[in-house]
A and B are shown apart, each in its own frame.
Chain A
Amino acid sequence: MTQFIWIILTASCMTAQVTSERISNADREPGNWMTYSGNYQGWRHSALDQINRENAGHLKVKWVYQMPTTIFVETTPLVADGVMYVTEPPSNVVALDPATGRQFWRYRRELPPKINVCCGQVNRGVALLGDRVFIGTVDAHLVSLDAKTGAVLWDVTVADYKTGHSITVAPLAVKDMIVCGISGGEYGVRGFLDAYDAKTGKRRWRFWTIPEPGQAGSETWPHGSAAWKTGGAPTWVTGSFDPEQNLLIWGTGNPSPDWNGDSRPGDNLYSDSAIALDADTGTLKWHFQFVPHDVHDWDAVQVPVLVDDEWNGQRRKLVYWAHRNGFAYVLDRQTGQFLRGGAFATQTWAKGLDVNGKPIKLPNTDPSAEGTYIFPGVQGATNWYSPSYSPQTKLFYLAAWENKSVYRKGEQQYSPGNRYIGSVPLIDLPDDPGTGAIRALNPKTGERVWEYKLLTKPWAGVLSTAGKLVFGGSDEGYFFALDAETGKEMWRMNTGGIIRANPVTFMSEGKQTVAVAAGSGIFAFELTQ
């Protein structure tokens, strides 16, 4: 497509508001990146092809925006109607000019002194709806800001940060609501997913990810025990939305305490699960639990990838899900039925999956006092960083890890606001730290189509584009573009900072731009003339 048309498209959107309809049709305006995963289906794919396999070698830095922070920057920038919105850890928001990286406004949140976040006071991005910006904060508030000025429109308490609740997830704008998850699986919270009225901040519904006694699913928790009240199953990574079925598909985290399950015999629903909720009511429509009674901290906190495609000769609504436990799954999106699954990385804990997708666990794989070596490690074979699906190649791309941990079992005493994890595993073995890779899978068969090897384990998501490219990053600080069909490296650059974020792409002044957080900055790339 010509530059000229892009300019018109971009210009025509300058005064528009972000609506749920626009996000539903995100593929019609690839010049913007309006929601965490680029579209509701969780694809992290762009129809832009100005940057492509032929010219990717000419990418260069367009601008860098540096943040005054020492915390990992995990934000996914959103771009709509000529403004980029990024979060700055712990819980600030900055509006930037996507052409220059210069700041329009900055919302700086004052935080109480003691906040417990398991793994850094990080934030993964904002949601946009109407003329507003929404951020979840590490002190467990949800805040609505004016998109033009950053002024606070409302600020509601989602949960009490003193009991280990925090918000790191990018909220999701759905219809006239803001859907927001919670963190705290290392502090014994009872997980939930909330929806708030975008205008007023009033809560529309809350789905508790652990049923209370008497409700369906409560039989998977010990009878007569309070373990369910501190059972975890948080919702700390942005889910997907199926507008046709009005279904939110979201992943849940580990049960608490993580590495000692003695106080919570049973499957511990709905931990480590995909849950499908009616978007208007928050009612559970189906669930699929990847790891019953998890004792390895293998959260189901991956972005669900929603695809409609042929399955055994019939058109079917599918969910692709590469899980922290080392298996990649295909589920039916209408029922949650397991269709297939197989390992995408080395795993030593299960013989395989049974016909219902339940893992067939191997003996002696649980944490032990003396330590148990298991693949994948505590951080999983993949984690929260986003996968990508390209409708062009029909491949599923992800950052994967080959590593093991020593799982130790220890005490499991609960006290409010303190860590409730049942041991401290040896996460990284100093002399055997493991390796990483970007992998392309045929999602229907699980077959590995290609692999781009990395010496170290990447914490960065991947982005696929119609330019037949896959962008990814590494802990080594490299940002690279690979051939989406072969995995061949077309370009790379050392940003000098660890990349622990997901890339995005958009149009700015007629030029396709790719942006990713690296170190404590946002880097934007474009082609040299």
Chain B
Amino acid sequence: MSRFVLFGCAAILLGANPRGSPADVAAGAATFRSHCAPCHGFTAEGGRGPNLTTGIFYHGSSDADLLANISDGIAGTEMPGLFYSEDRVWQVVSYIRSLSARSHTASNGNPEAGQSVFRGKGCAQCHRVAGEGGRVGPDLTNIGQMRSPEHLRQAVLDPNADVRPRYWVVTLTTKDGRDYTGFLMNEDTYTVQFMDLKEQLQSMQKSDLAAYRIDKTSKMPSYRDSLGARELSDLVAYLSSLRPAPLRADAGSSR
């Protein structure tokens, strides 16, 4: 049965949120801080996970959607489920709803103009969207689903703010005198695997290396000084728009 059919049934059966009192909101906030804040931020305005204060949720904005997504997690994303009773999850839903009151407008940029910025500023030399572009930087095909606009804005202005280990920079010299720089793909006690700057996959024994260093900083330059405010908004709007096409309820698979 498709997930959407399940959600649909849940919405019909569950109806409205039964735990919406101020006390429930406070209890939900406590749960949120313990369980959700590590990704969504202590103010719920996003981090590695999306901003939850806008009232708009990509995976469904109904109470039933939120209940299901918090309880069970969201497949294909880093969102895990909670092991709590429905009542307690409803409290978290109430807390999240209470945040929409202080929501601000989402990115007001123009995605089409942002796409031109993306092309014009050379982003595609390193980043790939839908199979086009470079490979050494993160693939951005679905980045709008993975990251909040705030996080994307920060990543453009300050690439070092959050560098995934996959993009840490390997610099090494082999004992026979060859130099390499690349992006860390895997490492263990004895070996290292990386993509060099020519997009070649490399694997080396550490015992064959004369020098070996890993920098936890990004190779990407900051665009703080090279983008105008408008260009930045447009670029963020474009990146935010990069999402897989939403599944249609009537097109669910029969798995």
Contact = CB atoms under 8 A, between A and B. Distances in A.
A408 B33 CA distance: 9
Given A418-B85, A430-B165, A411 B189 contact: no
Contacts of B190: 478, 492
A418 B188 CA distance: 36
B200 interface: no
Contacts of A369: 33
Nearest to B36: A424
Contact of B34 (A410, A415, A454): A410
A39 interface: no
Interface string A230-251: 0000000000000000000000
A430 B48 CA distance: 12
Chain A interface size band reads 20 to 34
A455 B165 contact: no
B165 A431 contact: yes
Nearest to B82: A419
Interface string B153-178: 00000000001110000000000000
A263 interface: no
Contact of B188 (A411, A424, A455): A455
A346 interface: no
B168 to A, nearest CB: 8
Contact of A454 (B31, B85, B189): B189
Interface residues of B, number: 20
B167 to A, nearest CB: 11
Interface string B181-221: 00000011110000000000000000000000000100000
A121 interface: no
Given A455-B189, A476-B188, A431 B34 contact: no
A418 B84 contact: yes
Contacts of A422: 34
A411 B164 contact: no
Nearest to A419: B83
Interface of A: 116, 369-370, 408, 410-411, 413, 415, 418-419, 422-424, 426, 430-431, 453-456, 474, 476-478, 492
28 contacts: A116-B83, A408-B33, A408-B38, A410-B30, A410-B31, A410-B33, A410-B34, A410-B35, A411-B31, A411-B34, A413-B27, A415-B85, A418-B85, A419-B83, A422-B34, A423-B34, A424-B38, A430-B164, A430-B165, A431-B165, A431-B216, A453-B189, A455-B188, A456-B189, A474-B188, A477-B188, A478-B189, A478-B190
